[in-house]
Amino acid sequence: MAEKILPPEELGRVDYSPPKKSWMDPKVEFRKGTFNYGAVPSSTSYLDLPFSRKWQPTDDDWQLPDNWKEIILNGLKDRLKKYRSLKVFMDICVRCGACADKCHFYIGSGDPKNMPVLRAELLRSVYRNDFTTAGKLLGKLAGGRKLTKEIIKEWFYYFYQCTECRRCSVFCPYGIDTAEITMMGRELLNLLGLDIDWITTPAANCFRTGNHLGIQPHGFKDSVEFAVDDLEEITGIRVEAPINKKGAEVLFIVPSADYFGDPHYFGFLGYLALLHEIGLDYTFSTFASEGGNFGLFHSAEMMKRLNAKMYMEAKRLGVKWILGGECGHMWRVIHQYMDTVNGPADFLEVPVSPITGTRFEHAASTKMIHIAEFTADLIKHGKLNLDKSRNDQWRVTFHDSCNPARAMGLLEEPRFILNSVCNHFYEMPENTIREQTFCCGSGAGLGTDENFEMRMRGGLPRANAVKYVQEQHDVNMLCCICAIDKATLPPLMDYWVPGIQVGALHELVGNALVMKGEKERVTDMRSNPLPGKEVTVDA
Amino acid sequence: MRDKGRIIIGLVIFLILITFPVWYNVARGKAGYVPQLEKPATVKQCVRDTSFMKAHHMDLLDEWRDRVVRKGEVMDIDMAGKPVEMSLTRTCLGCHHNREAFCNRCHSYMDVSPYCWDCHVDPKETK
Amino acid sequence: MKLFISLLAVLVLIILPLILVANGGDSIRYLFGVIVPYVGIAVFLFGIIYRVLHWARSPVPFRIVTTCGQQRSLPWIKSSKLENPHTIWGVLGRMLLEVLCFRSLFRNTKVELHEGPKLAYGADKWLWAAGLAFHWSLLIIFLRHFKYFAEPVPYFVTVIQNLDGFFQVGLPILYITDIIVVVALTYIFLRRVFVPQVRYISLPADYFALFLLLGITISGIVVRYFFKTDIVGVKELGTGLLSFHPVVPASIGVSFFIHLFLVSCLLMYFPFSKLMHMGGVFLSPTRNLVNNSRAKRHINPWNYPVKVHTYEEYEDEFREVMRAAGLPLEKE
């Protein structure tokens, strides 16, 4: 937790009137709580990133290489050549402002440069100055800005105040996607060695050990065995959780927080219970022990480098297809990038559920399906015996994670599952869910403690919508399918909406799932007593 | 993915649509057509000068109608200072005998359909 | 400041033909009536082709659809065919909705922050309504103008102008779109000036485009209703230009030259400005792609090999701990 933060009533008083000075003035103040620390050299050098050095954003001198300007401009030129999205988005914005109050960071901070339009203009102004005729001739009059070191600092501040959630792109009449702009902006900064530690160190860990947390193979095995023990205590059933098993039908990849973090872990217990109950022949992998991909928040190249493990491991283990756990940006990568960057996965088969026989044609090429798709199919075919009342302690609302919602369209599957496993499910207001869902405020590598104030600001719209259902329906559980959500929503809830627990979809599935041969359950996955099963202590 | 083919098809469709009048004129073969009006053989001067009449004849007729119908006036003064009756049928058609060869040529060229003839009749045509 | 520079620029564009044509001879009339419009048309057409092909030269490396509805996954879950298209027909529908109805802008909301804090989201359709009204009016006005270029006047132009003049008010008959276009542009302009956030993000180019369009529509209205000119002569000029036998009839007045010059300026400005959103919206990868990236592999033409960490390297580093933990090994 950050050392000092204003109380919610005060932080929640946001002034939206723009400042006197023009946005073209790049000066930013690196105030504690609103920015991320620079990457440590051990991580950047492990990944062979350029200009690895010790630095902090608060330093006066960022020790930029001598030819920094040339690097940026060439980098921009290169990306304009590679990405039509960037080229078109640089040219066609009309500055109508429809995106402005769609950004959670703008709503929570009132800083005009957090309006998606201005975030893009930070880069666009340099583009206009150096890549368009009007800008070259008219300069500032044409909206151009000469690239300066101050602008680099400004970029760093604001491109790490965007969670690439893409909510603005839903509202933009031309579909301009600020995530694309932010990604390019971050790639350019990385060319100068301006990486942030919360992204680069997990990426380095993942590159080496297979997961962001840096858990080594034996540690992974310990974690899984620990979970198997816990599940046995709750259900009386000792499940098998194979690791690195060659010839298994399915490779199951989950975000590393699922087996190491809380409350993710309760969802992990749910997975184990479910996969045991249906008797799926699956395996975990220690090498591909990370579903998430912090490389996505760094660069397309780093995303590809980290993602490569999934197909490499599926091939080595000889599985037929891959099942993926609950994680947001992981699914952006799998759905929109994996097959393109690391495919074709012609050594795998089109996923078929061995229990229901359903052929998942929509994943015919990538050969990887989301566990919510898999479980929804099981429930629809009546393959699971579910006791909804075992979730009666929860009054649940569902947080659509940005990426599954806006980069995939996984909206109904989790809702179908929720309606099948619990009795009390309430939606948040319609402008805050589904494709209009609000980010947790900590995605895209910004979920660090040093950035705490900005996270609370960015999370305000989400928290406020939860508060609404808390007041209307006594909601006490915020269910989600994203590892970053599960890590960052609890402090967000504690700050804005105390009394809300955060839980995984498959935690609720695990609670409701009646397993063959299980003992009478007295606790839920959290080892808390089930309703009506509280032990009364006589005096 | 480049989709060059689709983009070029799109551009071609755009160009065809936006240059519609060019090839339409070529197809109809009337690009050089300019309406030639039949001018009165005897009278050389209209009630106002020609350039005014070209741009504003509708204003004058409108004014005449109001003065005749609403104010009960009959006569106007023409540009030579001579009194002239404010009448479409008698004054205008008095010189421009052939409505078809005078009024309608420009009106159809410009796709204008004035509602003069909803009420007024050309005496010669009704016969 | 930004506003006044733009206003000044457009005023200069109005005064220029006003002074020159009024005092100049035939050569000036030829310049403003023939040369400048030809340059405008050429720059417009070649500029648009150049810009679109320039965009097209860069590939779309990833299938980055912004999905605004349920994906197509399991057969019993109803997918959103237009908001999250899984076929090319769905994309076509999505694009048509976007281009003809401004679907995305229709979603627009306005956020309000109350004490507490308490956030409220209200529908805000004004920008959508004004934008749609402006663009559709402009299209109708553009099509109506075909009568100055095509002989005989095509039937659809007659139909459009009859509908536009449906109320038969005034002489010449008032076109509804003339009113709508000015009202909508004025709203968009006032919004830019009076909404603090929008004013803050506005560039001179944003005001310039609005002033130029207002100049064109108002000068057009002036020519039609107030300072009338010989429109038969105007059509002679129009058809002459498009059949490459240009003549500038002496009967055309200055008011028309102002209108024509502003239009020519717009044509020249268009391909190099934000107005290219007209073409760009069709090339926006978040809207114009099918969301089928798991069903069908999307090819990235510049996909290059990267340095990866192989399983062998991994096992080499962790072999001892893996053996101790009883995990299977490739190499014992």
pLDDT at C192: 96
Q: Residues A419, A499, A503, A293: is their CA dihedral positive or negative?
A: positive
Domain limits, chain B:
1-33, 34-126
Smallest Cα distance from C281 to chain A, Å: 5
Kindly report, residue by residue over A236-276, the tens digit of the pLDDT: 999 999 999 999 999 999 999 999 999 999 999 999 999 99
Residue of B nearest to C46 (CA): B15
Question: Between the CA of residue C242 and those of A39, C42, C247, C264, what are the distances in Å?
Answer: 63, 12, 11, 14
Kindly report, residue by residue over A381-411, the tens digit of the pLDDT: 999 999 999 999 999 999 999 999 999 999 9
Q: What percent of chain B has pLDDT over 70?
A: 95
Which residue's structure tokens are 């480098």?
A: A305
> Which residues 257-316 of C have a C-beta within 8 angstroms of A?
272-274, 276-277, 280-281, 283-287, 291-300, 302-303, 306-311, 314
Residues near A513 by Cβ (< 8 Å), separated by ≥ 6?
A270, A273, A274, A277, A384, A385, A386, A421
Residues in chain C with CB shorter than 8 Å from the CB of B14 are: 48, 279
pLDDT at A1: 47
Residues in chain A with CB shorter than 8 Å from the CB of C84 are: 409
pLDDT at B116: 85
C64 and A23: CB-CB below 8 Å?
Answer: no
pLDDT band at B127 (very low <50, low <70, confident <90, very high): very low
Residue of C nearest to A174 (CA): C281
Query: A250 forms bridges with which residues in the sheet?
Result: A282, A321
User: Could you confirm whether domain C2-306 is CATH 1.20.950.20?
Assistant: yes
Query: A386 forms bridges with which residues in the sheet?
Result: A513
Q: What is the pTM of this model?
A: 0.94
Q: How many beta-carbon contacts under 8 Å exist across A and C?
A: 320
pLDDT at C140: 97
Kindly report, residue by residue over B67-106, the tens digit of the pLDDT: 999 999 999 998 888 999 999 988 988 888 888 889 999 9
A460 and C51: CB-CB below 8 Å?
Answer: no
CB A214 within 8 A of CB A208: yes
Is residue A464's pLDDT more than 70?
A: yes
A91 and C84: CB-CB below 8 Å?
Answer: no
Low-confidence residues of chain C, pLDDT below 70? none
Q: What percent of chain A has pLDDT over 90?
A: 97
Residue of C nearest to A101 (CA): C111
**Nearest to residue A256, comparing CAs of A323, A205, A196?**
A205
CB C261 within 8 A of CB C13: yes
Kindly report, residue by residue over A189-228, the tens digit of the pLDDT: 999 999 999 999 999 999 999 999 999 999 999 999 999 9
pLDDT at C170: 81
B25 and C150: CB-CB below 8 Å?
Answer: yes
Instruction: Flag whether residue C89 sits within 8 Å of chain A, measured between CB atoms.
Output: no
Residue C277 tokens read as: 């959103």
Q: Which of C56, C60, C230 sits opposite B54 (nearest CB)?
A: C230
CB B56 within 8 A of CB C228: yes
pLDDT at A294: 97
Q: Reduce the secondary structure of C86-152 to three states and give it as a string.
A: CCHHHHHHHHHHHHHHCHHHHCCEEEEEECCCEEEEEECCHHHHHHHHHHHHHHHHHHHHHHHCCCC
Residues in chain C with CB shorter than 8 Å from the CB of B118 are: none
Domain limits, chain C:
2-306
Kindly report, residue by residue over A58-115, the tens digit of the pLDDT: 999 999 999 999 999 999 999 999 999 999 999 999 999 999 999 999 999 999 999 9
Query: A251 forms bridges with which residues in the sheet?
Result: A283, A322
pLDDT at B63: 93
C286 and A363: CB-CB below 8 Å?
Answer: no
